[in-house]
Amino acid sequence: MATELRDISPAPAPPPGGTERHRWRHLLGILGPGLVTGAADDDPSGIATYSQTGAQFGYGQLWTALWMLPLVTGVQEACGRIGNVTGHGLAANIKNRYSLRILRLLVGLLAVANVINIGADIGALGASAGLIVHLPAAALMVIFTLVILALEITVSYRRYARVLKWLTVSLLAYPVTALFVHEPWGPIARATFVPHIQFSASFFYVITAVIGTTITPYMFFWQASQEVEENQDSKAKRSLRDLRTDNATGMIISQAVAWFIIITAATVLHTAHVTSINTAADAARALEPLVKTFPHSGEIAQGLFALGIVSLGMLAIPVMAGSTSYAMSEARGKREGLDLSPRQGRYFYGVIAASMLMGLALNSTGVNPIRALVFAAVFNGVIAVPLIWFIGRIAADPATMGQARSGWLSRGTLTLTFIGMAGSVVATAISYIKG
């Protein structure tokens, strides 16, 4: 995000001819880590959490989509800038500036959070695909895990993500549905801009999940490490201007989708008195108004929902496993990178495989996949708090960042994010203690 800091990297040459076509080509050319991170942010955990808050509280938490936009943009900009300027990922920078004990604690928390999230996402893939494919959910989970693992090891993630990013177009079903049904746009506008707080344990639990699925730890490590990889294949370091444009684009798209998911769930489910989402079929009901004029509208809605969950899960799970592997590889001084061959990156890919397999194993506990997704979001919200504190300190450190250290706007945004997320976690704990 913008700060008073001047961009110290060379500005890119203006597009030839300055035509609109060349401007769009230039914009598409600089989209990368920020856009992928933003797309991964709307993972199955995000869809389930946004759907749950819309169903349970109507438009009561709709304001979070707008108010969190500058916060998630600020955090991700700082992470990307750290990777871009230092040439090292977030874990390596924590290791260099703080003790190895602190790094091991943070990486351990990240690994636990990611395994829980991966497990919940794999469970959601199986449950969602089971709506349209007549196979046991357990078999589908195993198939998805093995396919994703094979693709991440054998195929360049850039090529893999390039295909999956187009599959995320299925998320347009939510804004189209929101525009297709009659919406009370006056109350929606008011709920978007005016925060609403309800002092109850359930409200704070879900809002912590919303915050945690939006500002989430795996995105911190992933974007910093991807900025490092982005520069390795380039003759010139990516400019901070391009980095910020890429980051802002990804976060705006991510939050816009979240806004529409909450609206759709609130209008379709909450008004129909469906206040608890327990299955994938419950969540898919939010899309039924889009296809209600067609025969078998329920099946079509389930197909759209399943397509969105599967494509986003296959995009987000490698990001989560990859962020764990980047962090653990940097902590132990091992070779890292998705462009390594399996032989070169045995440790790196070993961590990825272990993360996915442990996540798959969690599903043998019989936990409800939708509830697991919301719990994973809450757990991420708790883990993100100390990580944001360290990110803010590193990004503002002149010894580490030089002239690219955070300006007043970046420092203020990160401080506000830290206070807001910590306050949400504390409020959730207090509300549950009081019953």
All residues at 6 or more sequence positions from 314 whose CB lies less than 8 Å from its CB, including other chains: 125, 144, 147, 148, 164, 167
Work out the pLDDT band at 6, boundaries 50, 70, 90: very low
Nearest to 365 by CA among 36, 141, 110, 143: 141
pLDDT (tens digit per residue) in 289-345: 766 655 555 677 777 777 778 888 888 888 889 889 988 988 888 888 777 788 888
- Classified as helix, coil or strand, 263 is helix
Structural domain of 398 = 30-434
Task: Report the predicted TM-score, pTM, of the whole model to 2 decimal places.
Answer: 0.83
**Residue 5 within a domain:** no
Quickly list H helices, 233-362: 240-268, 280-284, 288-291, 297-332, 346-362
- Quote the CA–CA distance of 50 and 187 in Å, as a whole number: 18
Nearest to 370 by CA among 298, 286, 293, 276: 276
pLDDT (tens digit per residue) in 247-274: 888 899 889 989 999 998 998 888 888 8
**Residue 176 within a domain:** yes
**Residue 25 within a domain:** no
More confident residue, 289 or 400: 400
Across the range 170-179, mean pLDDT stands at 77
**Residue 16 within a domain:** no
Nearest to 44 by CA among 211, 203, 206, 213: 213
The reported pLDDT for the residue numbered 200 is 85
The reported pLDDT for the residue numbered 20 is 64
Nearest to 120 by CA among 49, 223, 202: 49
| CATH number of the domain enclosing 247 | 1.20.1740.10
What type of residue is 197? I
Provide the b/e sequence for 33-51 (b: ≥16 CB within 10 Å).
bbbbbbbbbbbbbbbbbbb
C-alpha 298 chain-centroid distance: 28
**Residue 1 within a domain:** no
| Domain total in the chain | 1
Rg for the chain, CA atoms, rounded: 21
**Residue 426 within a domain:** yes
**Residue 23 within a domain:** no
**Residue 134 within a domain:** yes
The reported pLDDT for the residue numbered 291 is 61
